[in-house]
Amino acid sequence: MSYLDSYEMVIGLEIHAELATRTKIFCSCKNEFGASPNSNTCPVCTGMPGALPITNKKVIELAIKAGLSFGCEISKYTVFERKNYFYPDLSKAYQISQLVKPLNIGGGVELDSGKFIRLNRIHVEEDAGKLTHLGKSQGTLIDYNRGGTPLIEMVTEPDFRSAEEVVEFLKKVREILMFEGIANCKMEQGGMRCDVNLSLRRKGDSNFGIRTEMKNLNSFRSVQRAIEYEAERQAEVLASGGDVVQETRKWDDFAGESFAMRSKEQAQDYRYFPDPDLLPILISDEEIEKVKSEMVEVPASRRKKYTEEFGIPKYDAELLTQTKYISDYFENCVSLLFVPKKISNWIMVDLFKIVKDQAQKEQNQEDIVFPISEKQLTNIIKMLEDRQINKNVGLELLQKVIETGKDANELAKEMNLLVTISEDTILNLLSKLKSENSKVVEDYKKDPEKISKFITGYVMKNTQGKANSLVVKNLIPKVFSKE
Amino acid sequence: MIDYSKLSIFEIMDKIKTHECSAQEVVEFFIQKTKENEKLNAIVEIFDDVVEKAKEIDKKIQNNEKLGKLVGIPVAIKDNILYSTKKAGCASAFMQDFVSPYSATIVEKLLDEDAIIFGRTNMDEFAMGGSTEKSVYGVCHNAKNFEYVAGGSSGGSAVAVSAGLVPVAIGTDTGGSIRQPSSYNGVVGVKPTYGTVSRYGIVAFASSLDQASPITKTISECEYVLKILAGKDDHDQTTIQNDFASDKKDKYRLGICKEVVEKLKERAEFYNFENAIKKVSDKFEIVDVSIPHISSSLACYYIIAPAEASSNLARFDGVKYTKRAENCESLEDVYVKSRSEGFGKEVKRRIMLGNFVLSSGYYDAFYGKAKNVQKLIKKEFKTAFLNCDAIILPTTLSTAFKIGSKNSDPVEMYMEDLFTVPANIAGIPAVSVPYSLAENGLPLGMQFMADEMQESKMFEIAKIFKSQMEVE
């Protein structure tokens, strides 16, 4: 039995996501990951004396979009403030953030269980640079490329009661941020990271216990493990009569445990005050409407449409909505040719396989791009529907279109892949069979359906598969029903 | 040889443009003049390329190229203004070796108009002080009397212009740092409407109050150069489009603030003030106005300015461009030792003050309250300007004081800002104009304040006033 059995977890999150802007939040340096150290910097993001911030309008737009996506109230008047603290990755020794007047207030996300997780706020702030410690007394290197990257911080209420709820919530949040083009959420690059505030209380208690905070968890797995570890640790402390210390803890994913970083006594006074270099931001209804008009249908609603209107299984609908690109691709195909199930199969079986084969390496699911246009894919499926080709030919065509980039219909003609056998030839073959094989005639009288398959096979065999099976099927009664 | 220090910038430019002299001759004259007056300690460095730059200007003139509005005029800049590849030390031991990686917007503007950025002027460390005694370069001396302070924090700029070392010097004014030393040295200095001049590339003291501006010998020159520095800047969100709209009237209404008179009455300098008013009484319609909370400006100022400074100066941490203390064993050591060694006493005092008023639990009582009182004072000025075109008041309570005489009590030093701070708190323009000599023979400055963006009217009124002072 675990110590944990008599306790209930209470968890709140702070989630940071890097916004998908071209440039940084307060200067025109590029917002990109992986550039050589300090190459994307300027006097503003390195905190040079005299340098001043200028707000990137796109940041505010994307942050409003985030607010709208999660049902927040958008503030008409929002203020940037300075959060003052010393650390070498923070070039100005203050972070421009928001405290008293955040951009987005309230909102939340509904879990599959129907439980609603409330958001307290989503505010806008800048990221800090990155430190590389060279090891004992060899110094530390500072890279300010990430300094000034725009972030949103989503703060939840302490509504979670399990690690599973947390992970489900995070997945939903990530999916929406990515779908709306708000953030790329590349967790392995720190594009989305999560601070977990966790406390325990005896089951049935209504008061909160003393919480700890674990910072910068950057995968769903480490969130899950960190929560489980921390809950167990706190339960042990409490069960043995001790008190949980309010502190910040660092999760070591490799070791699978967390350790204390600093306690509440060492907590800093950030001396927030409105940044005098930046004017308050006034947001009009028109601006909010404009952002709203640029929003896309969210994945949950798309999945509902796929399962209920298109008759696609739930699991497939999940796969088709894993990125906005895939989902848009699918929907574009459906609008060209309304055979959703068939299209879904082609995408999930054939296209996924091709993409996988092409880029065996570390291809991210988020980066999947299909090598064939919606139009060409539906051209192939249409030929198949019309029985002008069979599935194997379809797959051959798919490869060819990808290789050559040519039109599928023209390729099919060029390569002589389309069925070309005339009705007369088929009728002759059917008549020949009828006269030569009386057993078939007898069987046809008993059960036409059953023997039709055999008859079609016979025609196909004698035409090297180039007869249109649909035509054959239609012609069979004409020959065999006659006395 | 022509004494260029006696000429206005317009006269100098005329001579350069008409080939009566070259830009090189002009700049060499001022180099010579600066060297002769080294003891004043006003200009701490003449940039090594000034003669080179003057030759380039002369070439432009020879080639009949289009010329800027400050062609060949040497302009000195305060040591907290960045000029690419040149040092900007803020008169601090901490920043002594700092070389600017970029130029301030106002420096670019001056260069665009073919001015010659002449050198750096002395100042109080990080612009905190009113005497230019607190400088790593040593005390700057008053241009009129060597025993007296230059005023500050733009003391070097005011002394340089007063002593004729340069025709124009740029200073910065957060609570009077241009107007007070201008008054002490008998020159003209202006603080424009907040946002008129870009702060980009100027080391910030108190962001919501700082404005850079020129110090010159005459009002016309001051107005002329200010218009060149002004303008909305893509690098500074707080800049505004100030069109310097003029509002010509036959007779302007000049307001005398009764709360100021109360403060002044007991002092010897009140005689000078009253006498000046008498002299202009038929040129202006004189009215009484009231700014009930004008005296609270000082309290507001000494909360807001240190608060912003404490944050603005946090970037000087020994990690990047400031001097790092030796023998640091931890990160905390780097911060604590470097900042302890790097900053002077007055700067530390204000950083601590600022940190205190922003700290949790005290914010509302200090910073929050100061911001509210600031709003009130702004409103009171607005109301006053419904009834007058400008408010007239002395720039300072008295003349420059003796070097070293006010070093024991910082609050006494802070009182020097009493009449200059209100313009910064209210965000309105104010200009200091020399008008009289006190009993000790040192100059006194008169100050004119106008409503936001009413600089043109303010200068016009100051000119009328000044012309009356010169009668007799």
Q: Do B355 and A52 touch (CB under 8 A)?
A: no
- Is B18 contained in some domain? yes
Q: What is the average pLDDT score of chain A?
A: 91
Give the pLDDT score at A339.
95
Residue-number span of the structural domain to which B221 is assigned: 4-229
- B267-272 LR contacts (CB < 8 Å, sep 24+): B267/B397, B267/B398, B268/B398, B268/B438, B268/B439, B269/B394, B269/B397, B269/B398, B269/B399, B269/B438, B269/B444, B272/B435, B272/B436, B272/B438, B272/B444
Q: What CATH number is given for A423-480 in this structure?
A: 1.10.10
Q: Which residues of chain B have a CB within 8 Å of the CB of A45?
A: none
Q: What is the average pLDDT score of chain B?
A: 96
Active site residue B78: yes
Q: Is B135 helix (H, G, I), strand (E, B) or coil?
A: coil
CATH number for B214? 3.90.1300.10
**Is the bond preceding B436 in cis, omega lying within 30 degrees of 0?**
no
Active site residue B22: no
Q: Which residues of chain B have a CB within 8 Å of the CB of A49?
A: 82, 88, 90, 95, 98, 203-204, 315-316, 321
Give the pLDDT score at A418.
79
The residue of chain A nearest to residue B355, with distances taken between CA atoms, is A271
For the cut 80, the answer to whether the pLDDT of residue A419 exceeds it is no
Task: Give the pLDDT confidence of A169-191 residue by residue, as tens digits.
Answer: 999 999 999 999 999 999 999 99
The residue type found at A47 is: G
Give the pLDDT score at B1.
80
Cα–Cα distance measured from residue A216 to residue A15, given in angstroms and rounded to the nearest whole number: 9
Q: Do A53 and B88 touch (CB under 8 A)?
A: no
User: In this structure, what DSSP letter does residue B133 have?
Assistant: -
Q: Do B317 and A271 touch (CB under 8 A)?
A: no
Cα–Cα distance measured from residue B37 to residue A39, given in angstroms and rounded to the nearest whole number: 45
Q: Do A94 and B314 touch (CB under 8 A)?
A: yes
For the cut 70, the answer to whether the pLDDT of residue A368 exceeds it is yes
Task: Give the pLDDT confidence of B376-417 residue by residue, as tens digits.
Answer: 999 999 999 999 999 999 999 889 999 999 887 777 778 778
Domain residue ranges in chain A: 3-287, 295-414, 423-480
Q: Do B101 and A48 touch (CB under 8 A)?
A: yes
**Number of domains into which chain B is organized:** 1
Q: Do B321 and A48 touch (CB under 8 A)?
A: yes
Q: Given CB atoms, is A99 within the 8 Å cutoff of chain B?
A: no
- Are the CB atoms for A375 and A357 separated by under 8 Å? no
Cα–Cα distance measured from residue A454 to residue A469, given in angstroms and rounded to the nearest whole number: 12
Q: Which residues of chain B have a CB within 8 Å of the CB of A43?
A: 101-102
Catalytic residue among B15, B33, B53, B78: B78
- Is B327 contained in some domain? no
Q: Position of tokens 């080391």?
A: B203
Task: Give the pLDDT confidence of B309-364 residue by residue, as tens digits.
Answer: 999 999 999 998 888 999 998 999 999 999 999 999 999 999 999 999 999 889 99
Q: Classify strands A150-156 and A116-126 as parallel, antiparallel or unpaired.
A: antiparallel
The model's confidence at residue A392, banded by pLDDT at 50, 70 and 90, is: confident
Give the pLDDT score at A361.
52
Share of chain B above pLDDT 70, in %: 100
Chain A interface, best mutation among B79, B208, B303, B311, by max A CB count within 10 A: B311
Chain A interface, best mutation among B90, B92, B106, B237, by max A CB count within 10 A: B237
For the cut 90, the answer to whether the pLDDT of residue A457 exceeds it is no
Cα–Cα distance measured from residue B422 to residue B394, given in angstroms and rounded to the nearest whole number: 12
Q: Given CB atoms, is A51 within the 8 Å cutoff of chain B?
A: yes
Q: Given CB atoms, is A139 within the 8 Å cutoff of chain B?
A: no
What is the pLDDT averaged over residues A406-415? Answer: 87
Cα-based distances in Å from A69 to A13, A30, A155, A372 = 18, 26, 15, 31
- Is B106 contained in some domain? yes
For B345-412, the DSSP string reads: HHHHHHHHHHHHHHSTTTTIIIIIHHHHHHHHHHHHHHHHHHH-SEEEEESSSSS--BTTTTSS-HHH
Task: Give the pLDDT confidence of A289-306 residue by residue, as tens digits.
Answer: 999 999 999 898 999 999
Instruction: Pick out chain B residues at pLDDT < 50.
Output: none
